[in-house]
Amino acid sequence: MAKPVVLVSDDDADVRQALSLLLRDCGCEVATAASPAEALSSLRQIRPALMLLDLNYRRDTTSGEEGLALLEQIRAQDRTLTVVVLTGWATVQLAVRAMQLGAQDFLEKPWENARVRSLLASHLALADARSQVRRLEETAASGETEDEEPIFRSHAMREAMQVIERIAAFDVPVLLTGESGTGKSLMARWIHRHSPRREGTFVSVNLGGLAETLFESELFGHVKGAFTDARSDRAGRIERARGGTLFLDEISNITPAQQARLLHVLEEGTFERVGEAVSRPTDARIVAATNADIRQLIRDGHFREDLFFRLNAVEIPLPPLRARRDDVPLLARHYLARHTPRNTRQLALSSGADRALEGYDWPGNVRELAHVMQRAALLAKSEQIEVADLRLVGKESAERFDTLTLEQAERYVIRRALESCGGDVEAAATRLGISRSALYRRLEKLRE
């Protein structure tokens, strides 16, 4: 089994070395970065299961602004990556701000090894579970099914669909671009269903969630004995898509070596299973997708231009939901109906809820809207869904959160730890990386 990869980003070489030794002792592979630029470069080449992110890269300041800015860039690039920030009690408010921006947890410096091991075990278990259900989550939780039809009336989406409808009938590679949650997987399936290959198999592979050591085996297959866990012959995704469509999601996340391997297969039209010298022909239409600015990656030397041209007979940008606000009411009611439990009350949106949905910027796009409506359907207090039931997080609430005093921030972090541990003070102290007596002292101080 491949070891989980942890990316440690800190400008202190001693911290990187100490954490690397500890994490390797815990059975992880470790990648390190000494600056925000190195961290972003690493994330373009690897898909870590977990990232440990320092907030202070400049030793002459404790503002953490550089680290917070990096966190925002990371979340814009990948909203599913588990990020744990490195901080200290002197900068606990930074940890609170980081969690508001999307970090999942924090690790206090100086850390206790037991705390690192506990944090690592819990977050890697969650990351592993998420990776196993990601494909189901992207369809079932968002309301998509394999034969889902796009729902729209906006001009922006109508223009995109006109191109998709024209190109579906031609057996050429397609590159779908757009932010996360804009429906690239849904559109890839639509193209397959309306193509000459509709009777073939639609095979999807999330390259962003694929460990580097598994890339060739998953894509090209392997023969028995090719490596330790290869107990039998296994067809790869390319082979299983024979006569159908192969959807390469998050194509921009593969490494330079993987890009070269994939380019060779696309140019030659053949591949070999791992451990086998026999060339097999490919016969799958390629639909690729990315949420990255792939042209900028090419300019920066992180993505091969020749591979881009091989994948990009036609590029179709999918608009973000904020550019297709006319579609929000339609989509909201679609997902509300889909997620309302059977044999229960009929739910409706109030006029205020409608306005709130249309006025929200939807950073997670259609996928976020689907989750919001699912949650509202389950938690609504009456048959009419109000603004409060949507639980939208706006700029104003984030600004209020950022005005916390240090004492308020500390109170928030302690309360969060106690709630997550069911009120168990000893467990909460372990989670915070401090002794039980130290936690009791802080609780007494906060009660004064």
- Render the burial of 316-350: b for 16+ CB within 10 Å, e for the rest: bebbbbebbbebbeebbbbbbeebbeeeeeebebe
Does residue 67 have a pLDDT over 90? no
What pLDDT sits at residue 240?
92
Kindly give the pairing relationship between strand 280-281 and strand 234-235: unpaired
* Residue predicted with more confidence, 167 or 229: 167
Q: Does residue 145 lie within any of the structural domains?
A: no
Q: d(Cα 246, Cα 262) in Å, to the nearest integer?
A: 13
CATH number at residue 127: 3.40.50.2300
Name, in order, each residue with C-beta under 8 angstroms of 22's C-beta and a sequence gap of 6 or more.
Answer: 113, 116, 117
What pLDDT sits at residue 145?
52
What pLDDT sits at residue 141?
40
What pLDDT sits at residue 148?
77
- The single-letter DSSP state of residue 269 is S
Percent of the chain with pLDDT over 90: 41
Are the C-beta atoms of residues 309 and 267 closer than 8 Å to each other? no
Which among 49-58, 71-80, 245-254 has the top mean pLDDT? 245-254
Domain boundary among 319, 342, 375: 319
pLDDT tier at 138, thresholds 50, 70, 90: very low
* Claim to verify: residue 192 and residue 299 sit in the same structural domain: yes
- The total number of structural domains that make up the chain: 4
Tell me the average pLDDT across 353-377.
Answer: 90
Q: Does residue 149 lie within any of the structural domains?
A: no
Tell me the average pLDDT across 104-119.
Answer: 84
Are the C-beta atoms of residues 126 and 4 closer than 8 Å to each other? no
Q: Is 212 exposed, middle or buried (0-12, 13-18, 19+ CB in 10 A)?
A: middle
Q: d(Cα 433, Cα 422) in Å, to the nearest integer?
A: 17
The CA-based dihedral angle spanning residues 156, 159, 164, 170, taken in that order and rounded to the nearest 10 degrees: -160
Tell me the average pLDDT across 64-81.
Answer: 79
Does residue 65 have a pLDDT over 90? no
What pLDDT sits at residue 143?
43
Q: Does residue 270 lie within any of the structural domains?
A: yes
What pLDDT sits at residue 170?
94
Instruction: Provide the token pair at 85.
Output: 């920030």
What pLDDT sits at residue 378?
79
* Claim to verify: residue 348 and residue 442 sit in the same structural domain: no
Name, in order, each residue with C-beta under 8 angstroms of 215's C-beta and a sequence gap of 6 or more.
Answer: 207, 254, 258, 261
* Claim to verify: residue 111 and residue 23 sit in the same structural domain: yes
pLDDT tier at 106, thresholds 50, 70, 90: confident
Does residue 142 have a pLDDT over 50? no
Q: Does residue 35 lie within any of the structural domains?
A: yes
Q: Does residue 84 lie within any of the structural domains?
A: yes
Tell me the average pLDDT across 76-92.
Answer: 73
pLDDT tier at 321, thresholds 50, 70, 90: very high
Does residue 408 have a pLDDT over 70? no
pLDDT tier at 58, thresholds 50, 70, 90: low
* Claim to verify: residue 82 and residue 187 sit in the same structural domain: no
Angle at CA of residue 292, ends 316 and 217, nearest 5°: 95
pLDDT tier at 414, thresholds 50, 70, 90: confident
Does residue 385 have a pLDDT over 60? yes
Which among 57-71, 290-304, 404-418 has the top mean pLDDT? 290-304
* Claim to verify: residue 348 and residue 410 sit in the same structural domain: no
Tell me the average pLDDT across 402-431.
Answer: 63
Domain boundary among 375, 394, 413: 394
* Claim to verify: residue 421 and residue 382 sit in the same structural domain: no
SS percent in the chain: helix, strand, coil, step 5: 50, 15, 35
Paired residues of 52 in beta bridges? 8, 84
* Claim to verify: residue 44 and residue 62 sit in the same structural domain: yes
- Render the burial of 152-167: b for 16+ CB within 10 Å, e for the rest: bebebbeebbeebeeb
Q: Which of 59-68, 152-161, 296-305, 333-342 comes out lowest in average pLDDT?
A: 59-68
One-letter amino acid for residue 126 of the chain: L
Q: Does residue 384 lie within any of the structural domains?
A: yes
CATH number at residue 293: 3.40.50.300
* Claim to verify: residue 417 and residue 385 sit in the same structural domain: no
Instruction: Provide the token pair at 32.
Output: 């390190």
H helix count then E strand count, the chain = 20, 16
Q: At which residue do the structure tokens 């022909």 appear?
A: 281
Domain boundary among 78, 102, 133: 133
pLDDT tier at 118, thresholds 50, 70, 90: confident
Q: d(Cα 10, Cα 84) in Å, to the nearest integer?
A: 12
Which among 100-104, 180-184, 214-218 has the top mean pLDDT? 180-184
- The single-letter DSSP state of residue 319 is P
Tell me the average pLDDT across 38-47.
Answer: 82
One-letter amino acid for residue 377 of the chain: A
What pLDDT sits at residue 156?
94
Q: Which domain holds residue 225?
A: 155-319
What tens digit of pLDDT does each residue of 335-345 get?
998 887 665 66
CATH number at residue 426: 1.10.10
* Claim to verify: residue 185 and residue 313 sit in the same structural domain: yes
Q: How far is CA 207 from the centre of its chain?
A: 12
* Claim to verify: residue 283 and residue 344 sit in the same structural domain: no
